[in-house]
Amino acid sequence: MKLLLTGGMGYIGSHVAVTMAKSGHEVILFDNLVNSSSDTIKKLNKILDKDVYFYKGDLNNPNDIKSIFEKFKIDAVFHFAGYKSVKESVINPIEYYSNNMIGTINLINEMYKKNVKLLVFSSSATVYGDPKYLPIDEKHPTIPKNPYGRIKLQIEDMLDDIYSSDNNWRIACLRYFNPVGSHDSGLIGDNPTGLANNLMPIITKVASKKLKKLSVFGNDYPTVDGTGVRDYIHVMDLAEGHKMSFNYLLKNKGCFKFNLGTGKGYSVLDLLKSFIKMNHCDVPYDFTFRREGDVSECYADPNKAFEFLGWRSLRGLDEMSESAWKFLHHNEKD
Ligand code: WQD
């Protein structure tokens, strides 16, 4: 089938592109390259040993979306495109509302016009806000604490309304926990343009001496070792979750929410120790104050995704660390 991946040149999008193309689908990547590199297309072609179609476009330009839907008979959409920094969303909410929300509305409008009603939406565990209980299941209250999370939830609510108005829609909202790691080839990975915010890209920058040290944001949390605990999930497990959601939607109409996490929480020091052990490298760090807005622990109950989709994560922390390092080295050579 012909699949349109908005934001398909980005971290998650490019890994899903590999998984869906390997499953025999034609993937069409639509991206404005604001937070990704055009080099990714060469790497995807190398991994897939075939040419992947890339269209440089912006969801905030309805003509770009119209063109791609006129050029290809799209069967389904995987929607990744959007800004993804929680910190930036607090500083510049209007930029986030306009880019992430209006961009999505433009996309849905064009899908409606072309009668394309199968959508896999890249949502986030930030829709939950502070955990009221752990592990977090899909019934957990959704009280996001920042514009980024609020927009993700508002888009989910809009998709619920769309399904209520037209039961022909097939929608999966995938709530990612903490995606890390890279494709086995090391050719694609988490390579944010500008300053990295997330833990693993920062660890890799310190390991490669691009940054002097890692600041561990707080070691006074009520956790196993005082540092923040998160549900780190290998990006290839996450990509598999997208494939199994798509396969589920082929047989089921509705608007579904699924947590994509491992169900295990690991601390900052756990990840750090795994990275150093697997890659025999040095990552200098020190403890600093807690980061504004951070919670002490957050990890998923992934059972609904297993019951409905037959999906569960397969890879552990060590594989996440090893693959992130492999990507780092491939990138250094480029
Ligand atoms: C993980 C842990 C930090 C950096 C974010 C987004 C979320 C989702 C995933 C999009 C925390 C600690 C981090 C550093 C540190 N993205 N840390 N020093 O905040 O759990 O989630 O990414 O959907 O929306 O909020 O991920 O990687 O920023 O932090 O100590 O330099 O690492 O305190 O405990 P987070 P993170």
* Per-residue pLDDT reduced to its tens digit, 309-318: 999 999 999 9
pLDDT, tens digit, 9 for 90 and up, residues 228-283:
999 999 999 999 999 999 999 999 999 999 999 999 999 999 999 999 999 999 99
- Among candidate residues 83, 96, 128, 148, the one labeled active-site is 148
How far is the centre of ligand 1, averaged over its atoms, from the C-alpha of 127 (Å)? Answer: 15
pLDDT, tens digit, 9 for 90 and up, residues 9-27:
999 999 999 999 999 999 9
Question: With contact defined as beta carbons under 8 Å apart, do 155 and 171 qualify?
Answer: no
162 Cβ contact partners less than 8 Å away, ≥ 6 residues apart: 108, 169, 171, 255
What number does CATH give the domain 2-179+231-261+301-314? 3.40.50.720
Pocket of ligand 1 (CB under 6 A): 84, 86, 124, 126, 176, 178, 197-199, 202, 214-217, 228, 230, 268, 291, 294
- The stretches in the chain having pLDDT less than 50 are 334
Domain locations in the chain as residue ranges:
2-179+231-261+301-314
Q: What is the pLDDT of residue 334?
A: 47
Q: What is the pLDDT of residue 137?
A: 98
Q: Which residue has the tokens 């991994």?
A: 47
Q: Which of 221, 274, 291, 298 to mutate to test the pocket of ligand 1 (most atoms within 8 A of CB)?
A: 291
Q: What is the pLDDT of residue 194?
A: 66
Q: Which of 123, 175, 229, 268 to mutate to test the pocket of ligand 1 (most atoms within 8 A of CB)?
A: 268
CA pair distance 231, 233, nearest whole angstrom: 6
CA pair distance 144, 100, nearest whole angstrom: 16
Active site residue 148: yes
Beta-strand ranges (E) seen in 97-217 are 118-124, 170-176, 178-180, 214-217
pLDDT, tens digit, 9 for 90 and up, residues 218-230:
999 999 999 999 9
How far is the centre of ligand 1, averaged over its atoms, from the C-alpha of 198 (Å)? Answer: 5
Question: Ligand 1: which residue has its CA nearest to atom 26?
Answer: 198
Is this prediction's pTM over 0.95?
yes
Q: Enumerate the β-bridge partners of residue 216.
A: 287
Q: What are phi and psi of 33, to 5 degrees?
A: 60, 20
At 310, list the tokens: 């037959």
